[in-house]
Amino acid sequence: MQTLLYLTHRIPYPPNKGDKIRSYHLLRHLSERYRVYLGTFIDDEQDWQYVDQVKSFCEDTCFIKLDPFTARIRSLFTLFSNTPLTLSYYYNQRLQAWVNERLSKKSIDHILIFSSAMAQYIGHAKDCDHIVDFVDVDSDKWRQYASAKSWPQNWIYRREAKLLLAYEKQVAKDCGYVTFVSEKEADLFKQLVPEVTDKTVFFNNGVDTDFFSPYLRYDNPYSEGARVLVFTGAMDYWPNVDAVSWFAHAVFPAVRAQLPQVEFYVVGARPSREVMALASLPGITVTGAVEDIRPYMAYASMAVAPLRVARGIQNKVLEAMAMEKIVIVSPQAMEGIYAVPEIELFVASDAGQFIDQIILLFQNNVSKDTGGAARSRVLKDYNWAESLARIDALFTGNRRNDLRDEILVR
């Protein structure tokens, strides 16, 4: 069995948030085909309990503790250099030494880098067969942040967008392939870096549709007869914080004025102070971390994803669709998701459209046909077996001709 060095910016377990879902399924898939050497960071103390589970997939591992506060301070020291803050945030000498030793003493056949920040560890191994899964165009995410913030944050974010894009360009030139989470992300990168169009591909995220199933039984977490709008996600992540705060102030009061029985639940771990404050508003509940988000989806009337800043694919949308939920999304939250509006989900571009759409759907008793169509779409286009088969193709055979064409076929 061949060997593969796999570097991720966060421990790929548990699969309970966007990047971990993708990195975990990659790890599980790769472990069936390669002897995996995993180097990764742990930035949440709760995640140390999963080390042994992750080790079970690997030949060898290196887990590095990353304290977010210390990492931010460290990255600020490079603020007046030409280095992206992202790189210094994720740099660690011990991990670098571990990577160097594995590359020099072990016969590493392939390298898979998960997120551009981890490519800095294999800069001296350009001759090795390696792929970088950018997942999203991170530099464009920082550009979006800059447009939504005031000084001095917007200056810092613009700087990061510019320097990170330059770094992403260099990484793409040096590696065999760069991959993204959706065709739209790949197309954006091709526009930004046209000289690497021939090595820029994508493979979709999948959904475990046996786990996110509307046919399983769950205990109802809501009061009897409750009519609930639900948002799920990590609630210390700024785009999620921005989304629920905007929805709670710009949309929900108008909905509740016409439908007083409707409630809004914000379900997700580590709610920020701004999110916690929303619980003081009429009809809004902030749960914090829950053992299982599926009951909150299963018994909700609708799921909403009113994101105003987004990159890649929103797993929360796909998971709700898999559970046959009516889902109302912003255009930003729908990017990268192939679904038919008004049939498989609903799209609202501003507060007025969200208000009108929600009220209309409640008044029409929420068509079950849409939920069934949504799950069918996920089963067809967002299954892990089909998506991960594409990464296999990149590590075998003639990587510039037939396999490239195969990987681009949806």
CATH number of the domain bearing residue 156: 3.40.50.2000
- Token pair 């945030």 is at which residue? 89
Domain that holds residue 283: 227-381
- Give the distance, in angstroms, between the CA of residue 229 and the centroid of all CA atoms in the same chain: 22
Are 104 and 56 part of one and the same domain? yes
Are 146 and 286 part of one and the same domain? no
Tokens of 301: 């009337």
Are 16 and 46 part of one and the same domain? yes
Give the strands of the sheet with 302-305, arranged side by side. 284-288, 262-267, 227-232, 302-305, 326-329, 346-347
Are 258 and 183 part of one and the same domain? no
Beta-carbon contacts of 29 under 8 Å, excluding residues fewer than 6 positions away, are: 384, 388, 391
For residue 221, tell me if it sits in a domain. Answer: no
Environment class of residue 248 by beta-carbon count within 10 Å: exposed (0-12), middle (13-18) or buried (19+)? buried
Are 185 and 231 part of one and the same domain? no
The predicted pLDDT at position 307 comes to: 96
For residue 218, tell me if it sits in a domain. Answer: no
Are 95 and 48 part of one and the same domain? yes
- pTM here is 0.87
Are 397 and 360 part of one and the same domain? no
The predicted pLDDT at position 124 comes to: 65
Are 202 and 287 part of one and the same domain? no
Are 318 and 340 part of one and the same domain? yes
For residue 328, tell me if it sits in a domain. Answer: yes
For residue 47, tell me if it sits in a domain. Answer: yes
Are 374 and 388 part of one and the same domain? no
The whole-number mean pLDDT for each consecutive block of 10 residues of the chain, a chain of 410 residues, reads: 95 91 96 96 96 97 96 89 94 96 86 95 74 94 87 91 96 93 94 95 93 95 94 93 97 97 96 97 96 96 94 90 96 91 94 96 76 92 88 67 43
The predicted pLDDT at position 145 comes to: 87
DSSP codes joined into one string, 171-223: HHHHSSEEEESSHHHHHHHHHH-GGGGGGEEE------TTTS-TTS-----SP
For residue 219, tell me if it sits in a domain. Answer: no
Are 253 and 192 part of one and the same domain? no
Number of domains forming the structure of the chain: 2
For residue 71, tell me if it sits in a domain. Answer: yes
The predicted pLDDT at position 286 comes to: 98
- Token pair 């109302």 is at which residue? 328
Are 74 and 154 part of one and the same domain? yes
